[in-house]
């Protein structure tokens, strides 16, 4: 496979620099015939990763970044590029990420524009890219930066039972998003540096979020939970937010399958996480539409104003494919991931005149509270801004394609 992909990389690099195409210049992606050992999923991962690097020549520009920043969305995109490096052996994917991190992080491990005092879990996500960078380069500044992030988590404000507040400004609140931001990082840190307390902490956060965000009737999870029940969006009896936001459930599913990479087989929390994964895998197909897509408000695909959304579909494609590959769920679920891939290819992915690919219909942002106040209503979620090539969709798309590619290997 690596020989074929290297040839394909050289061909794609010969393309001229991309210009933003007009809407009428976009065209649906044509079917690609697998060649050699590569398959269609791996080929799409390659094409899209190279498209991202072409339109965003430096990693800080991922997610339409305007400044050098340790942003969680850039971290998602860089995780995808490191997955490409591991799969293809192409050094340029690693260099793309390392140049970003090397510029961001000083020799003493300080991170540019990072502010621990905000206790923002979003900062933690980009720490995931530091593990392979540290292992390959040996630069101690990456280890020091990881230690800095762990120091934040050791001081993170918590609910009465120990759940992390999503940010200091979001007091008493646990968000599904935060589980993805922090738990896989804690698990990898604990496994890498022989600190099992961080494996236990990763599990504790997942268990607490399951306890308070899960809805037994649908098998889905509410976006967030307010322990104080004071937020306007919080159910006065349960503290739960009012809707099932697609991307938050995507973060949750991805977090669980990623945490299991580092959790020992005999860890007492492993069985619980596996049960959460299997129950969610069973629940989600009923909300997938005929084209293979999931919607912005996940449980109401037929409600007027709702729409198929790229990030949740890409995230769930990744989570299903990886869970099948790892043996966490039955092989029958591979068809769910394949259906999502085909739906994205047919409905959300377009090919530009220069041969690059664009992923459309990505929700730019979603949250609760704040200024102006976000009330978690159906109308709020469907009213959020959409854009193309958002890293919160493109990163999972690339990683999902790579996981799907393993089905044929």
Neighbour-count burial for 209-222, b at 16+ CB within 10 Å, e otherwise: bbebbbeeeebbbb
Query: How many other CB atoms are there within 10 angstroms of residue 35's CB atom?
Result: 12
What pLDDT sits at residue 55?
98
Cα separation of 365 and 80, whole Å? 20
pLDDT tops 50 at residue 25 = no
pLDDT tops 50 at residue 35 = no
Confidence of residue 153 (pLDDT cuts 50, 70, 90): very high
HSE, side-chain direction, 13 A CA sphere, residue 387: 11
Cα separation of 119 and 169, whole Å? 9
The CA–CA distances, whole Å, from 164 to 181, 215, 253, 267 equal 11, 20, 18, 21
pLDDT, one tens digit per residue, over 282-337 is 999 999 999 999 999 999 999 999 999 999 999 999 999 999 999 999 999 999 99
Determine the average pLDDT of the residues in 132-148: 98
pLDDT tops 70 at residue 19 = no
**Residues 6 or more apart from 383 whose CB is under 8 A from it?**
none
Considering only 31-45, 124-138, 212-226, 261-275, which range has the smallest mean pLDDT?
31-45
Quote the percentage of the chain above a pLDDT of 70. 90
Quote the percentage of the chain above a pLDDT of 90. 90
What pLDDT sits at residue 141?
98
pLDDT tops 80 at residue 161 = yes
pLDDT, one tens digit per residue, over 69-107 is 999 999 999 999 999 999 999 999 999 999 999 999 999
Average predicted confidence (pLDDT) for the chain: 92
pLDDT tops 80 at residue 65 = yes
pLDDT tops 60 at residue 219 = yes
Beta bridge partners of 188: none
HSE, side-chain direction, 13 A CA sphere, residue 122: 17
Do 149 and 124 contact (CB within 8 A), yes or no? yes
pLDDT tops 90 at residue 38 = no
Any idea which residues carry the catalytic annotation?
A: 177
Considering only 18-22, 262-266, 366-370, which range has the smallest mean pLDDT?
18-22
pLDDT tops 60 at residue 164 = yes
What pLDDT sits at residue 372?
96
For residue 146, what are its two tokens? 């990881």
**CATH number for the domain formed by residue range(s) 2-408:** 1.50.10.10
177: helix, coil or strand? helix
pLDDT tops 50 at residue 27 = no
Confidence of residue 407 (pLDDT cuts 50, 70, 90): confident
Of 27 and 239, which is predicted with more confidence?
239
What is the length of the chain?
409
Beta bridge partners of 374: 369
The dihedral formed by the CA atoms of 208, 213, 218 and 223, expressed in degrees to the nearest 10: -140
Sign of CA dihedral 362, 365, 368, 371: negative
Of the candidates 140, 173, 95, the one whose C-alpha atom is nearest the C-alpha of residue 367 is: 173
**Residues 6 or more apart from 396 whose CB is under 8 A from it?**
76, 80, 250, 254, 311, 314, 315, 317, 318
Determine the average pLDDT of the residues in 261-282: 98
Of the candidates 340, 321, 336, the one whose C-alpha atom is nearest the C-alpha of residue 400 is: 321
Query: Tokens 């299991």 appear where?
Result: 260
Sign of CA dihedral 318, 319, 322, 325: negative
What pLDDT sits at residue 23?
33
- Per-residue DSSP letters for 37-84? T--HHHHHHHHHHHHHHHHSSSGGGGGG--S----HHHHHHHHHHHHH
What pLDDT sits at residue 237?
98
The interaxial angle of helices 40-55 and 91-104, nearest 10 deg, is: 40
pLDDT tops 80 at residue 4 = no
- Extents of the domains making up the chain: 2-408
């Amino acid at each position: 496979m690596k020989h074929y992909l290297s040839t394909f990389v050289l061909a794609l690099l010969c393309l001229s620099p991309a210009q933003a195409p007009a809407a009428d210049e976009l065209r649906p992606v044509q079917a690609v015939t697998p060649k050699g050992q590569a398959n269609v999923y791996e080929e799409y991962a390659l094409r899209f990763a190279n498209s991202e690097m072409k339109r965003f020549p430096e990693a800080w520009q991922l997610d339409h970044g305007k400044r050098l920043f340790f942003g969680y969305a850039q971290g998602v995109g860089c995780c995808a590029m490191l997955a490409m490096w591991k799969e293809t052996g192409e050094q340029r994917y690693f260099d793309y990420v390392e140049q970003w991190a090397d510029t961001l992080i000083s020799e003493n491990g300080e991170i540019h524009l990072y502010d621990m005092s905000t206790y923002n879990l979003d900062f933690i996500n980009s720490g995931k890219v530091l593990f392979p960078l540290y292992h390959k380069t040996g630069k101690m500044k990456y280890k020091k930066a990881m230690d800095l992030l762990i120091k934040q988590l050791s001081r993170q404000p918590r609910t009465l039972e120990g759940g992390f507040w999503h940010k200091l400004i979001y007091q008493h609140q646990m968000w599904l998003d935060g589980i993805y931001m922090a738990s896989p990082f804690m698990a990898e840190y604990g496994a890498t540096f022989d600190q099992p307390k961080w494996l236990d902490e990763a599990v504790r956060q997942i268990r607490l979020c399951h306890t308070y965000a899960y809805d037994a009737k649908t098998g889905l999870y509410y976006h967030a939970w307010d322990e104080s029940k004071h937020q306007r969006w919080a159910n006065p009896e349960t503290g739960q937010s009012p809707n099932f936001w697609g991307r938050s459930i995507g973060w949750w599913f991805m977090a669980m399958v990623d945490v299991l990479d580092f959790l020992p087989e005999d860890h007492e929390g492993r069985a619980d996480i596996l049960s959460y994964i299997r129950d969610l895998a069973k629940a989600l197909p009923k909300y997938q539409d005929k084209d293979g897509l999931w919607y912005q408000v996940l449980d109401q695909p037929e409600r007027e104003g709702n729409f198929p959304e790229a990030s949740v579909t890409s995230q769930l494609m990744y989570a299903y494919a990886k869970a099948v590959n790892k043996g966490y769920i039955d092989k029958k679920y591979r068809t769910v991931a394949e259906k999502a891939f085909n739906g994205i290819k047919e409905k959300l992915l377009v090919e530009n005149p220069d041969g690059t690919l664009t992923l459309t219909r990505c929700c730019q942002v979603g949250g609760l509270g704040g200024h102006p106040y976000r009330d978690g209503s159906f109308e709020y979620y469907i009213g959020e801004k959409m854009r193309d090539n958002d890293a919160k969709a493109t990163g999972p798309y690339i990683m999902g394609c790579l996981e799907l590619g393993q089905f044929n290997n």
